[in-house]
């Protein structure tokens, strides 16, 4: 047998402090809330104690952002702002390994992904939006910033989501107060250090840590001009209610239940890779995950046999091992939710199959799992599980595939697998999803807008379209 020996990435490059404060006005300061702990989900080790931002702390951060906005950042030329963004992007690349290791430790995702996807994408977003900073008058959305942006991001891609929020906001001349998720605050605080290292003027970027209360204080702060949120549909609705009737602009990027549609003439081996990447990438903690596999009945058995064989080769375990494909579930709470919905799937009569793999004794783990015999009436076909669990449904014709794919309150993404170009184009026209991938899945690029239909949210992030959320519009 060809067994791979452990190939752990060294932790020595990161220096995790015992406790962290808030990053306000260019300085790390103590928070006045109750400090909370962040743990390594792979082994439940407590990594650090992190300050909780109270209402007063959030107010201080917003005031710092306002000062930086009126006195420095909104007055600076786009070309000057770009210099800072380019500098940040380069420091991210220089400290890429450190960011990747810390991201894997705090989040549980495999180092292969944080190293090859998250961190390169983080740098790419800053480079891309740095390029827009002095060209905003050609954006189609004017060149006037909104002011102070309050941004709340999730735990599944802590650095990547930070980049999607901060890079376009700063490029357009806004200042930001960002709240990372309570289970993954560490890389945002490392990013704050990078802002210091880049000599970013104090107050342009502020990071406040905390949970739901901190987030609520931020989005409902009267001096915040713009709210940007990525996370669950439930919280998204609460934010929409909180800002209703105010002048605040809002973008929401929420949940999904994407259909990954495999036609009988698909390149089957690559489709299987796409299915695996669609649902097991980042432990399935992906809002646009291809969590519903719609496979044409004529090839369903073959696709399932190949998928199971492929799933059996997935390596689940230590996120810092360079050969790990699937890491740890981010939190005990999320693990409980995945388990609960999986049990519902079984009790509703779907057939459950999990990849044969040995799970570590400590930490939060869930084996890659697939449910067959799922119908539209099953909860696991409707609710977002946000874990490594795939629901498989079959269809007979393209129109049935479209109907089933669209039969969901969500509409973030979809995948189409076929060798027939005309079918790809017609499916893309009929699928109600913000992103439709053809013969690939989970591909992201800073130049490409991303966002949802229906309960998957509104507004677009990325590309030229991503500037709209941070500009006042064409001057009249």
Partner 1 sequence: MTPTASSTESSAPTSGVFDDVVRSDSSLRRFLHGLPGVDQVGAEARAAGLATRSVKTTSKAYAIDLAIRMVDLTTLEGQDTHGKVRALAAKAMRPDPADPTCPATAAVCVYPDMVATARQTLGDSGVHVAAVATAFPSGRAAMDIKLADTRDAVEAGADEIDMVIDRGAFLSGRYLDVYEEIAQVREACNRPDGTGAHLKVIFETGELQTYDNVRRASWLAMMAGAHFIKTSTGKVQPAATLPVTLVMLEAVRDFRDQTGQMVGVKPAGGIRTTKDAIKYLVMVNETCGADWLTPDWFRFGASTLLNDLLMQRTKMTTGRYSGPDYFTLD
Asked if 313 touches partner 1 (CB under 8 A), the answer is yes
Asked if 5 touches partner 1 (CB under 8 A), the answer is yes
Pick one of 211, 268, 367, 428: the residue that binds partner 1 (CB under 8 A).
268
Helix (H, G, I), strand (E, B) or coil at 224: coil
User: Residues 330, 336, 341, 342: is their CA dihedral positive or negative?
Assistant: positive
Helix (H, G, I), strand (E, B) or coil at 57: helix
Which positions ≥6 away from 97 have C-beta within 8 Å?
9, 13, 115
Asked if 1 touches partner 1 (CB under 8 A), the answer is yes
Pick one of 266, 289, 341, 390: the residue that binds partner 1 (CB under 8 A).
266
d(CA 23, CA 202): 10
d(CA 121, CA 282): 15
Which residue of the set 52, 253, 461, 468 is catalytic?
Answer: 253
Q: 338 and 286 in contact (C-beta within 8 Å)?
A: no
Pick one of 134, 223, 273, 400: the residue that binds partner 1 (CB under 8 A).
273
Asked if 308 touches partner 1 (CB under 8 A), the answer is no
Which CB sits closer to partner 1, 146 or 266? 266
Find the part of the chain contacting partner 1 (CB under 8 A) among 37-45, 137-145, 269-277, 402-410.
Answer: 269-277
Least distance between partner 1 and beta carbon 117 (Å): 11
Asked if 232 touches partner 1 (CB under 8 A), the answer is no
Which residue of the set 9, 287, 461, 468 is catalytic?
Answer: 287
Find the part of the chain contacting partner 1 (CB under 8 A) among 4-12, 13-21, 135-143, 449-457.
Answer: 4-12
Closest listed residue to residue 200, CA positions, set 233, 175, 231, 164: 175
Which CB sits closer to partner 1, 3 or 358? 3
Least distance between partner 1 and beta carbon 204 (Å): 36
d(CA 178, CA 205): 8
Q: How many CA atoms lie within 13 A of 274 on its CB side?
A: 27
Q: 153 and 230 in contact (C-beta within 8 Å)?
A: yes
Strand 435-438 to strand 413-417: parallel, antiparallel, or no bridges (unpaired)?
Answer: parallel
Asked if 454 touches partner 1 (CB under 8 A), the answer is no
Asked if 120 touches partner 1 (CB under 8 A), the answer is no
What are φ and ψ of residue 204, in 5° steps? -70, -40
Interaction residues for partner 1, span 169-228 (CB under 8 A): none
For 48-78, give the secondary structure using H, E and C: EEECCCCHHHHHHHHHHHHHHHHHHHCCCCH
Asked if 109 touches partner 1 (CB under 8 A), the answer is no
Site of tokens 């954006």: 139
Asked if 242 touches partner 1 (CB under 8 A), the answer is no
User: Residues 215, 219, 224, 229: is their CA dihedral positive or negative?
Assistant: positive
Asked if 30 touches partner 1 (CB under 8 A), the answer is no
Asked if 238 touches partner 1 (CB under 8 A), the answer is no
Pick one of 59, 213, 265, 400: the residue that binds partner 1 (CB under 8 A).
265
Which CB sits closer to partner 1, 83 or 322? 322
Site of tokens 């001096």: 223
For partner 1, how many residues bind (rule: CB under 8 A)?
23
d(CA 394, CA 400): 9
Q: Is 172 a catalytic residue?
A: no
Task: Please state the separation of Cα 226 from the chain's center in Å.
Answer: 20
Q: Which two tokens stand for residue 301?
A: 């058995």
Pick one of 120, 131, 267, 409: the residue that binds partner 1 (CB under 8 A).
267
Asked if 298 touches partner 1 (CB under 8 A), the answer is no
Q: Is 288 a catalytic residue?
A: no
Which positions ≥6 away from 245 have C-beta within 8 Å?
none
Q: How many CB atoms lie within 10 A of CB 447?
A: 12
Least distance between partner 1 and beta carbon 324 (Å): 10
Q: How many CA atoms lie within 13 A of 392 on its CB side?
A: 24
Asked if 15 touches partner 1 (CB under 8 A), the answer is no
Asked if 274 touches partner 1 (CB under 8 A), the answer is yes
Closest listed residue to residue 141, CA positions, set 175, 165, 168, 176: 168
Least distance between partner 1 and beta carbon 444 (Å): 14
Q: 182 and 208 in contact (C-beta within 8 Å)?
A: no
Which CB sits closer to partner 1, 272 or 335? 272
Find the part of the chain contacting partner 1 (CB under 8 A) among 3-11, 248-256, 331-339, 351-359.
Answer: 3-11
Least distance between partner 1 and beta carbon 277 (Å): 9
Asked if 10 touches partner 1 (CB under 8 A), the answer is no
* Residues at the site binding partner 1, with contacts judged by CB under 8 A: 1-5, 7, 112, 116, 265-271, 273-274, 313, 322-323, 419, 439-440
Residues identified as active-site: 253, 287
């Amino acid at each position: 047998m060809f067994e791979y020996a452990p190939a752990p990435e060294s932790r020595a490059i990161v220096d995790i402090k015992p406790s962290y404060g808030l990053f306000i006005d260019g300085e790390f300061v103590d928070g006045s809330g109750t400090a909370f702990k962040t743990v390594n989900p792979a082994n439940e080790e407590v990594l650090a104690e992190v300050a909780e931002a109270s209402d007063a702390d959030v107010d201080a951060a917003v005031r710092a952002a306002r000062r930086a906005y009126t006195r420095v950042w909104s007055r600076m030329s786009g070309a000057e702002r770009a210099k800072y963004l380019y500098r940040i992007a380069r420091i991210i690349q220089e400290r890429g390994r450190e960011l990747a290791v810390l991201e894997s430790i705090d989040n549980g995702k495999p180092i292969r992904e944080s190293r090859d996807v998250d961190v390169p994408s983080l740098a790419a977003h800053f480079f891309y939006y740095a390029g827009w900073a002095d060209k905003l008058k050609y954006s189609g959305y004017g060149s006037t910033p909104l002011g102070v942006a309050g941004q709340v991001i999730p735990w599944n891609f802590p650095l990547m989501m930070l980049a999607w929020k901060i890079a376009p906001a700063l490029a357009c001349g806004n200042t930001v107060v960002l709240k990372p998720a309570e289970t993954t605050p560490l890389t945002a605080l490392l990013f704050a250090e990078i802002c210091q290292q880049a000599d970013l003027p104090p107050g342009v970027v502020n990071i406040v840590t905390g949970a739901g209360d901190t987030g609520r204080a931020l989005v409902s702060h009267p001096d915040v001009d713009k709210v940007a949120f990525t996370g669950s549909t439930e919280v998204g609705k609460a934010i929409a209610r909180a800002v209703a009737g105010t002048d605040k602009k809002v973008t929401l990027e929420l949940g999904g239940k994407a259909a990954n549609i495999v036609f009988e003439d698909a390149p089957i081996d690559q489709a299987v890779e796409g299915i695996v990447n669609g649902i097991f990438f980042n432990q399935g903690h992906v809002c646009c995950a291809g969590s519903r596999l719609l496979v044409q009945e004529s090839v369903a058995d073959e696709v399932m046999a190949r998928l199971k064989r492929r799933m059996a080769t997935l390596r689940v375990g230590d996120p810092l091992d360079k050969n790990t494909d699937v890491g740890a579930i981010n939190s005990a709470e999320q693990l409980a939710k995945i388990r609960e919905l999986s049990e519902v799937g079984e009790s509703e009569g779907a057939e459950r199959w999990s990849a044969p793999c040995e799970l570590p004794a400590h930490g939060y783990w869930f084996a890659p799992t697939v449910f067959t015999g799922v119908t539209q009436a099953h909860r696991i076909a409707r609710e977002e599980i946000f874990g490594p669990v795939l629901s498989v449904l079959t269809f007979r014709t393209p129109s049935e595939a479209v109907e089933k794919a669209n039969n969901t309150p969500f509409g973030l993404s979809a995948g189409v697998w076929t060798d027939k170009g005309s079918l790809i184009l017609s499916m893309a026209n009929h699928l109600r999803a913000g992103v439709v991938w053809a013969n690939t899945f989970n591909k992201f690029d800073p130049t490409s807008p991303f966002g949802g239909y229906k309960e998957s949210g509104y507004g677009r992030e990325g590309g030229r379209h991503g500037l709209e959320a941070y500009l006042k519009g064409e001057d009249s």
